[in-house]
Amino acid sequence: MAAKLARMTPAQYAHKQLYQRQYRSADSLFDDGVFTLSLGSTLLAVYILSAQSPPMQLLSRGFWLLGWLALGIGLLMLAYFAASKILANPRPYADTVPLVAAQHRTGNPAAMPLVQPPAPQWGPEVYRAIEWRRFAAVCETLFTQTGFATRLALRGADIGCDIALYSRKGGTLLALVRSHQSLDQPIPLNALRHLHQKMAVYPGTYGVYATTATLQPDALQFAQEHGIHVLEGASLLKLIAARSPDQQQALLDVAYQGEYWRPTCPRCDVKMRRRVPVQGGALFWGCSNYPNCRLRLPMQTS
């Protein structure tokens, strides 16, 4: 058991704890409802028995009132328990389904995740083949190869990840790196401002913005004015090309590790699953922890 908990990420452990608390609370409500119903039934039984004795008739009225009150409260508790179970498990979309069923529902015979095979060497095609979490792992490995100790913090698929760079000897925080996979849109100014605000929390650090895309002109100007080093898609490839062949292959192995094409949930740090809307429509990625996590991401389809 201890070994299993040790393998959990903090996000997975927090999700497990929340799940257990929710169901402990629900089970307690069910037990209390059954107990209250039993109490009400007992009081009514006492009323029936005591009503036959004239000296106990006045007291039996109290048993009658309390018995029906307990029955009513018990029924309300069980009804609330049942309603909470139903509301906690809605079905706005179907679970992972066979591809044939997905094609039938969407009306699109090509509606399947866009999976590109691993490339033999580094190039722009690698950016499009891997998910955002794999790109962050590549950036972290690249800075590890250059001599830094690193620490990764997830932020989100639309924002990227923060990688803290430390000196190997003293453990001093030196820089903050924002890795951001953006395949279609240039990076806006607000993204650079957000990184600069993060740098201000740690005086003396410098910033690096690593992305698969390019920066908008005002974002690039902001980076130059505030000392943020920018690694756009092409310049990042040049930096990788400057590594030794073994290091380049190691980076490629990190990029294509596991299900490199299946996105990771930014909240739970677990792989997402292909989902089909119940009422039809385009496929999308949904968190494996649904219904406790309802985050979804669009799916590129071929």
Q: In whole angstroms, what is the distance from residue 112 CA to residue 282 CA?
A: 10
Q: State how beta strands 206-211 and 228-231 pair.
A: parallel
Contact 285, 298 (CB under 8 A): yes
Strand partners, 264: 271
The count of other CB atoms within 10 Å of the CB of residue 82 is 12
Tokens representing residue 217 in the block: 């002109």
C-alpha pair distances (Å), 116 with each of 62, 110, 260? 75, 15, 10
Q: In whole angstroms, what is the distance from residue 100 CA to residue 16 CA?
A: 33
- Gyration radius of the chain over CA positions: 29
Give the N- to C-terminal CA distance of the chain in Å, as an integer: 42
Tokens representing residue 265 in the block: 């949930």
Span 77-91, pLDDT tens digits: 878 777 765 544 444
The count of other CB atoms within 10 Å of the CB of residue 65 is 12
pLDDT at 234: 95
Tokens representing residue 70 in the block: 């307990």
Q: State how beta strands 272-277 and 284-287 pair.
A: antiparallel
Q: What is the SS3 assignment for 71? A: helix
Q: Which stretches of the chain drop beneath a pLDDT of 70?
A: 1-29, 51-60, 84-114, 154-159, 301-302
Q: In whole angstroms, what is the distance from residue 7 CA to residue 150 CA?
A: 20
pLDDT at 41: 82
Span 15-26, pLDDT tens digits: 444 444 444 444
Tokens representing residue 33 in the block: 């409802």
pLDDT at 145: 95
pLDDT at 2: 40
Residues across the chain: 302
Span 201-226, pLDDT tens digits: 988 899 999 999 999 999 999 999 99
pLDDT at 109: 38
